[in-house]
Amino acid sequence: MSFTEPAGRQGSAEYRWAQDKGDSWLIQAAAIDGDIAQYFLVSARCGCFMQAARSLNVRSTLLRKQLAQLEQELEHSLFSFQGSALSLTREGQQLQAKLVALANERKLPVIEQPLIRLAVAESILHDILGRDLIALLRRNASVRLEIIALDSELSLRAVSADIVLWLAHGDTPYPGPTFAIGKPQRLAKLDYLPHIAKRYSRVTARPDTPDDLADFMLVQWQHDRQIDSFRPWNELVEQRLAGVVQMQSYELMLEMIRCSACIGLLPAYMSRFDRGLIALPGLFAEPMQLQAWLAVNAESQEITEVQTLLDLIHHTFNERHEWFE
């Protein structure tokens, strides 16, 4: 393909400058589709096609296809690899400067993304939802998301969010959020059992009764002290005169169980999340359970990004339904 001098541009200073420099192809920059121009500029800025695709929330295959077509139309290579590093060719640098100048002239606005606030029980965030949220952010680096970890009933009552995912004992969603929400949805029933790391417990030496726990250190997440359905475990911990650790951090409590031969109360699905942990059933006759509930702020239900996040949460729980059986 060869480009001819555009009608009406004969004798223009810009055209003569481009001809003098042998860069008449740059005249076509103003005609490049806005999306394609953005693909090029973001790729040039990121120095990585994958990162650029994440920032633009498009597939990397589509991004590279569009940029390859742009190179064909301009009859110039715009990118080159030096080892594993992506850089611009001389023509790519010229096109970048031209497109930036055009963008500044047009004063293109930045498209603001809505801020979505997700409040989620800390254990659910860590064990169940965290990986899929990370995958979402890897696919879409332009999202504006605030994640609030709920580590107590007080934090649940004080929070204001677009989506709330919390744990409650009994068959009702209360206590729940204090702001106006749509109808709460029950996602799963979670059983809780004492757990220990496999490497610290031979089968023949594992405790069978609460009395057998006297030979083990117990670790308790402080949040669990206020949960009525955990009464059997909490009473055991409170009676301890030695060999007990209270933790403010859920993640650090998990590390204590994994690495310090401690026994702690965890969701029954934990052995699926971490194959190095094993549940100790039968220690308590009374079941210890919580229900996972999901609700949407009444003012946020129609926001597209909120619906996308809701779909992700439902998909995550449906995909892990065997964890809760």
* Confidence tier at 3 by pLDDT (50, 70, 90): very low
Q: Does residue 253 share a domain with residue 140?
A: yes
Q: Does residue 297 share a domain with residue 154?
A: yes
Q: Does residue 316 share a domain with residue 181?
A: yes
Q: Examine the fold and report which residue of 47, 77, 106 is the final residue of a domain before the chain moves on.
A: 106
Q: Does residue 130 share a domain with residue 91?
A: no
Mean pLDDT over all residues of the chain? 87
* Confidence tier at 14 by pLDDT (50, 70, 90): very low
Q: Which range of residues forms the domain containing residue 299?
A: 115-324
Query: Is the pLDDT reported for residue 26 higher than 80?
Result: no
The backbone region for 101, taken as left when phi is positive above 0, alpha when psi lies in -120 to 50, beta otherwise, is alpha
Q: Examine the fold and report which residue of 50, 75, 106 is the final residue of a domain before the chain moves on.
A: 106
DSSP E strand stretches across 198-275: 217-221, 244-247, 262-267
Q: Does residue 181 share a domain with residue 268?
A: yes
Q: How far apart are the first and last CA of the chain?
A: 63
Q: Does residue 188 share a domain with residue 304?
A: yes
Q: Which of 15, 75, 98, 87 is nearest to 49 (CA)?
A: 87
Q: Is residue 57 part of a domain?
A: yes
Q: Is residue 292 part of a domain?
A: yes
**β-bridge partners, 117:** 146
Q: Examine the fold and report which residue of 79, 106, 133 is the final residue of a domain before the chain moves on.
A: 106
Q: Which of 80, 102, 79 is nearest to 26 (CA)?
A: 102
What span, in angstroms and rounded, lies between the C-alpha atoms of 72 and 69? 5
pLDDT at 128: 97
Q: Does residue 169 share a domain with residue 314?
A: yes
Q: Find the CATH number of the domain harbouring 307.
A: 3.40.190.290
| pLDDT tens track for 154-208 | 899 999 999 999 999 988 999 899 999 999 999 999 999 999 999 887 766 788 8
Pinpoint the alpha helices (H) of the chain. Answer: 13-21, 34-46, 49-56, 60-74, 90-106, 122-124, 130-139, 153-158, 231-239, 250-259, 270-273, 304-319
Q: Is residue 174 part of a domain?
A: yes
Q: Does residue 35 share a domain with residue 18?
A: yes
Q: Is residue 7 part of a domain?
A: no
Tokens of 296: 């949407």
Amino acid at 133: L
pLDDT at 142: 79
DSSP E strand stretches across 111-184: 115-121, 144-150, 163-168
pLDDT at 109: 56
| pLDDT tens track for 236-290 | 999 999 999 999 999 999 999 999 889 999 999 999 999 999 999 999 999 999 9
Chain centroid to Cα 152, Å, comes to: 22
H or E stretch covering 285: none
Question: Distances from the Cα of 131 to the Cαs of 53, 94, 124, 134, 273, in angstroms?
Answer: 20, 41, 11, 5, 11
Task: Give how many domains the chain has, as a whole number.
Answer: 2
Question: Distances from the Cα of 134 to the Cαs of 126, 129, 130, 147, 186, in angstroms?
Answer: 11, 9, 6, 12, 24
Burial 102-138 (b: 16+ CB within 10 A, else e): eeeeeeeeeeeeeebbbbbbbbbbbbbbeebbeeeee
